A and B are shown apart, each in its own frame.
Chain A
Amino acid sequence: MALRVTVLRLNLAAIHHVNNLYSVSSTRKLTENVASKPKAASGGETMTGHLLYTPEHLALKESLKKIIDQEINPYVDQWEAEGIFPAHKVFKILGNAGFLGVNKPVEYGGLGLDFSYSIAMSEELGNIRCGGIPMAIGVQTDMATPALARFGSAELKKEFLLPSIMGDKVACLGVSEVGAGSDVATIKTKAVRDGDEYVVNGGKMWTTNGTQADWMCLLANTSDGLSHKNKSLICLPMNSPGVRIARKIDKMGMRSSDTAEVFFDDVRVPCKNVIGREGMGFTYQMLQFQEERLWAVGNILTMMENVIRETIQYTRQRTIFKMPVLHHQSVYFRLAELETEVELLRSLLHRATALYIRGNDVTKLASMAKLKAGRLAREVGDSCLQYWGGMGYTNDVLVSRFYRDARLCSIGGGADEVMLSIISKYMDTVPKAPPK
């Protein structure tokens, strides 16, 4: 059973429930007030015949929400201030409840469910009151482990995948470098064969979970040749001699997620730690892009919803010129616009997910969704922050944290420009190089 801090049970004083129709005895700290008007933005959770979600999806969300309310949200402010969250502790709690292996093979502790369950989980993680922790969880479940689950040897899966699903090992993904982000093909980290080991030299940047990770899913050049055919994915234990965590990067947002710059000085790793076939690393990593991008959208969707909800609550009680801020037409009209766009994005996400689990290639839709998510989040953050006025500018409110955290969406996990390139390719509008 999950660990709980006893102080939560005695935290009845923190309950500020307005309506006395309800008994105030509850084991959980009340963290939000949700208006009891018809939940238009809930994505149809209370409607029957949901397009994507079955009662099991909803039960998954309910259970995860409880974990978030009890084990994560009460500590977010503290972890944001400290610049790091206890990944091993949080991942173990999630692992115990089965949430780290939703679409992973049953033989290694996963649940073997389809990707719609992963999306349900990513949407629910958006209820965490920061962006850093959902991002860190996403790396563990849908960035560092999918290729291993699909192509890794049984031995490799036993050593790295199983404990990652159980929540015993923290994973990180080593792809981006100081000199190569969107242009993954130009990474410089090399893994040179020496007997039955590789010797790794180089470095990685923007490594989420990097300071706490037990192992890294590393993309490195393992041969010379065409840049999309000479790379391999290698499971690298982070305590290997020569692995140096140069610094924890001080970021504008996502502050509870530790992001590391890592260097490799003659790091030795067994050749059997290669995932799948040597030279296929780039291909393997690309195969999971659709899932990575849809996952990111799920998260931020719920966060945007929550920010809009909180903005309505705040502006309803904050008065200006003798009436609530909310009652000014420019305010509620703008919120209606934002709500409309959030619903559009949700529809795209669910449509893409539904098509994906039926075996379709949804690269174009996934790229569109990621592109829209990043841009809409900036709009939602910016507009809502304005309505919070001075309060929005403080660090005491969710909207300012969202403003900082969500800005990453247009940059990381595939920058807007990369998404636009992909979409344009599918539209066949990219000019071709003239024939020689």
Chain B
Amino acid sequence: MSRVLVGVKRVIDYAVKVRVKPDHSGVVTDGVKHSMNPFCEIAVEEAVKLKEKKLFKEVVAVSCGPAQATETIRTALAMGCDRGIHVEVTGKDYESLGPLQVSKIFAALAKKEEASLVILGKQAIDDDCNQTGQMTAALLDWPQGTFASEVEIEGDKVKVVREIDGGLETIKINMPAVVTADLRLNTPRYATLPNIMKAKKKKIANMKPADLGVDIVSRLEVLRVDEPPTRLAGVKVETVDDLVAKLKESGTI
């Protein structure tokens, strides 16, 4: 009972200006800079910190995707994870891979690896779903502590301070549990050069969803992807009456 599973997702880098494909089937990913989802970095940092506090023996980084997903796993290894698991999903399967399928994979792995804790980022910056953590917990029938800004292990329980609309909520849940990391949980460490070189020797196991008995057929079909409408120029008005008149004119009120 002392293994942590951390999920990491390879996403288009936050600084890239994303473009929609000419056929509107998705966004351009070829040749575009990718990196680890920022919330996944925070999740990795938390897991490694817990291991450094000697609360867990091993941290396993998991990523689902094509061959390039191993780069993301290597970053997690360079940050301090002990080993990695690459669940290979490619081509059309990868394009349609969503939270439901990933949750099934994580649930299967959590059981297989006998993890006491699964830590994920609260959401990915490409689809903003904010579902994988919750679904994984439901599939495992484990408690969940989402939007965590503080995580503390107290015996066989986890105290989680959650960031919610009204403020902060503190809950205590039994392990094994799923936790999702929010922005203020920690500040991820830089992968130091010595650790980058050490990560080369750490193992990354390779498997397919079928090996875990998971069906990854999507229940969703993406019909069309468009850019947000271009922002039109505004109109300046002189008085409040003018403003009201214009709003009435445009049918807004």
Binary CB contact string for chain B from 23 to 63 against chain A (1 if under 8 A, 0 otherwise): 00001101111010010001000000000000000000000
CB contact between B197 and one of A17, A67, A111 (< 8 Å): that residue: A111
Q: Mark B220-231, 1 if CB is under 8 A from A, else 0.
A: 000000011000
Within the complex, which residue of B28, B32, B183, B193 is in contact with A102, where a contact is CB–CB below 8 Å? B193
Q: How many residues of A contact B (CB 8 A)?
A: 42
Contact pick for A59, options B14, B33, B191, CB 8 Å = B191
Alpha-carbon distance A104/B184, docked complex (angstroms)? 37
A22 proximal to B (CB < 8 A) = yes
Q: Is the CB of A55 within 8 A of B74?
A: yes
Query: Which of B97-105, B120-128, B237-245 contacts the other chain?
Result: B120-128
Q: Is the interface of B mostly helix, strand, loop or mixed?
A: loop
Chain B residue nearest in CB terms to A32: B15
Q: Inside 8 A of B194's CB, which chain A residues have their CB?
A: 98, 111
- 8 Å CB interface, A8-59 against B: 9, 17-23, 25-28, 30-39, 46, 55-56, 58-59
Task: Decide: A4 and B187 in contact? CB cutoff 8 A.
Answer: yes
Please, which residues of chain B bring their CB within 8 A of the CB of A23?
123, 125, 128
Asked whether A46 and B196 contact (CB < 8 A) given A9-B187, A19-B17, A36-B17, the answer is no
- Establish whether residues A26 and B18, one from each chain, have CB atoms under 8 Å apart when the complex forms: no
CB atoms of A63 and B190 under 8 A apart: yes
A46 and B192 CA atoms in complex are apart in Å by 22
CA distance A17 to B16 in the complex (A): 9
User: Known interface pairs A2-B190, A30-B15, A63-B190. Does A19 touch B30 (Cβ–Cβ under 8 Å)?
Assistant: no
Whether B152 sits at the interface, judged by CB under 8 Å, is no
* B200 within 8 A of partner (CB): yes
- Pick the contact of B193 from A21, A26, A60 — CB < 8 Å? A60
Pairwise interchain contact B189-A36, C-beta atoms closer than 8 A: no
A96 near B: Cβ within 8 Å?
Answer: yes
Q: A27-B187, A56-B197 are in contact. Are A33 and B15 (CB under 8 A)?
A: yes
Residues of the A chain whose Cβ atoms lie less than 8 Å from the Cβ of B183 = 9, 25, 27
- B126 near A37: Cβ-Cβ < 8 Å: no
Given A31-B15, A36-B16, residue A60 in contact with residue B31 (CB < 8 A): no
Other-chain contact of A67, B33, B125, B190 (Cβ < 8 Å)? B190
- Of residues 1 through 31 on chain B, the ones whose CB sits less than 8 Å from some CB of chain A are 12-19, 27-28, 30-31
A271 to B14, CA, bound (A): 54
**B38 lies within 8 A of A37 (CB):** no
Taking a contact as CB atoms under 8 Å apart, the answer to whether A22 and B192 are in contact is no
By a beta-carbon cutoff of 8 Å, the part of chain A in contact with chain B is 1-2, 4, 9, 17-23, 25-28, 30-39, 46, 55-56, 58-60, 62-63, 66-67, 96-99, 102, 111, 113
Residues of B within 8 A of A (CB): 12-19, 27-28, 30-33, 35, 38, 42, 71, 74-75, 78, 123, 125-126, 128, 183-184, 187-197, 199-200, 227-228
A-B CB contact pairs (8 Å), 10 listed: A2-B190, A22-B18, A25-B125, A33-B16, A34-B17, A34-B33, A36-B18, A39-B33, A59-B75, A97-B193
Q: Which 7 A-B pairs have the closest CB atoms?
A: A98-B193, A38-B31, A63-B191, A97-B192, A33-B17, A98-B192, A36-B32
